[in-house]
Amino acid sequence: MEYSIGIDIGGTKIATGIVGQQGNVRYKRIHPTPNSTNREIVDLLKQTVSEYMKLATEENINLVSVGIGSAGQIDYKNGRILSGTVNIKDWNNIDIRESLSHTTNLPIYLDNDANTFAIAEHQLGSGKGVDDLVCLTLGTGIGGGIVSDGNVIRGKWGGAAELGHMSVNFNGPDCNCGSKGCIETYASGTGIANRMREKLNSIDAGKRISYTEHPDMLTSKEVFEWNKTGLPEAKEVIDQAITALSFGIVNMIHTFNPSLIIFGGGLAEANRWLIEEVQNKVNAIGMPSLVKGVEMKVSKLGYDTGLIGAAYQVWATSK
Ligand code: BMX
Ligand code: CA
Ligand code: ZN
């Protein structure tokens, strides 16, 4: 069987592994995303690739490529990271193929992380046999991947499908992409934490303490827990996330006419109930003929989808 080194670079963590052609993950490691310079990330990639190559030689594993899925705006044909929001520090203007050229002779594939997520789901997951689907990864940011008539939509150089930056409110919060009111500012992990922090800063100190003494440190996980216990400000933040996501998805359905929406990322995996709420809202606000019958599912491949998709690029393109 053929194997490929997979590398999934997100705003919080980098997952790496050796993945087989059937999507089987043979080795896997998780690193926190370095937060100083792009050099540090590139060094981590070099080290990881050379370790996995050594391991493959020892274990007689037939490696055929290195596949990288990375957050950011990516020239996928030339293997270059063009830019990234501040979710990954200093993630701009990096020639990944050139950077790894002294480490490996294997062909190197590079695409946006949510595009590779869509590749995995389309080839092996919930989207298998489905020609028109939209994928959304809810994590540090919100990533988007679109398959239309069986093809991944990439636009001119690969920058298409930045669905997290679909605005649903031109008076909304500033987004780190330059726009306002993007769905990422309401419904990503960082967005939910930011909106909650704003609320806590606007209420009186006594009430704030009933939530946390450290609003600076809070994460979306806590907001979901507070929502579960019925704390009203947290419920407002989560309701707002559901509403923003639903309006965004209605725009996507009206634009791409998909039959399936697939969700992934830590936030969707940990809060599957959210999807049903979104589905109900989408059905209530979208054009009936378009939203009717659009299915919504959480990734079938689970937490490893990004890693599998990154590795899978070599086989997806040769099919
Ligand atoms: C951001 C943007 C996207 C990415 C998405 C999900 C950067 C660095 N990131 O919208 O390119 O696909 O986040 O990324 O520009 P993650 O960090 O949540 O995995
Ligand atoms: Ca994308
Ligand atoms: Zn944005």
80: left (phi over 0), alpha (psi -120 to 50) or beta: beta
Which atom of ligand 1 is found nearest the CA of 139?
18
Report how far ligand 2's centroid is from the alpha carbon of 256 (Å).
Answer: 15
Beta strand 108-112 with 133-138: parallel, antiparallel or unpaired?
unpaired
Same domain, 153 and 83: no
Nearest by Cα to 271 from 217, 219, 228, 304? 228
Same domain, 284 and 215: yes
Q: Which tokens belong to 273?
A: 């109930």
Same domain, 158 and 138: yes
Task: Give the predicted TM-score (pTM) of the model.
Answer: 0.96
Alpha carbon distance 70, 8 (integer Å)? 6
Name the closest-CA residue to atom 7, ligand 1.
72
What is the count of structural domains for the chain? Answer: 2
Report how far ligand 2's centroid is from the alpha carbon of 146 (Å).
Answer: 8
Report how far ligand 1's centroid is from the alpha carbon of 308 (Å).
Answer: 17
Same domain, 18 and 161: no
13 in a structural domain? yes
Residue among 162, 220, 267 to mutate when testing ligand 1 (max atoms within 8 A of CB): 162
214 in a structural domain? yes
Same domain, 257 and 180: yes
Q: Where do we find the tokens 């809202």?
A: 281
61 in a structural domain? yes
Alpha carbon distance 197, 218 (integer Å)? 8
From residue 128, how far is each of 135, 218, 259, 298 by CA, in Å?
Answer: 13, 38, 12, 14
Proportion of the chain in helix, strand, coil states, percent, rounded to 5: 45, 25, 30
**Helices and strands of the chain, counted as H and E runs:** 12, 13
Residue among 87, 186, 269 to mutate when testing ligand 1 (max atoms within 8 A of CB): 87
Give the per-residue pLDDT at 213: 78
CATH of the domain at 119: 3.30.420.40
Give Dmax (Cα) for the chain.
63
Same domain, 274 and 235: yes
Give the per-residue pLDDT at 206: 79
| pLDDT profile of the chain (319 residues), mean per 10 | 98 97 97 94 97 98 98 96 95 96 97 98 97 98 98 97 98 98 98 96 82 87 96 96 98 98 96 97 98 96 96 85
Same domain, 101 and 189: no
Same domain, 55 and 89: yes
Same domain, 219 and 85: no
List the domain range (segments joined by +) for residue 213: 133-299
Alpha carbon distance 249, 261 (integer Å)? 9
Report how far ligand 3's centroid is from the alpha carbon of 178 (Å).
Answer: 6
From residue 98, how far is each of 70, 92, 105, 113 by CA, in Å?
Answer: 16, 15, 11, 20
Same domain, 77 and 141: no
Pocket of ligand 1 (CB under 6 A): 10-11, 71-72, 84-85, 87-88, 91, 112-114, 137, 139-143, 162, 164, 184
Positions marked catalytic: 113
Same domain, 291 and 309: no
Same domain, 175 and 35: no
128 in a structural domain? no
Alpha carbon distance 115, 99 (integer Å)? 22
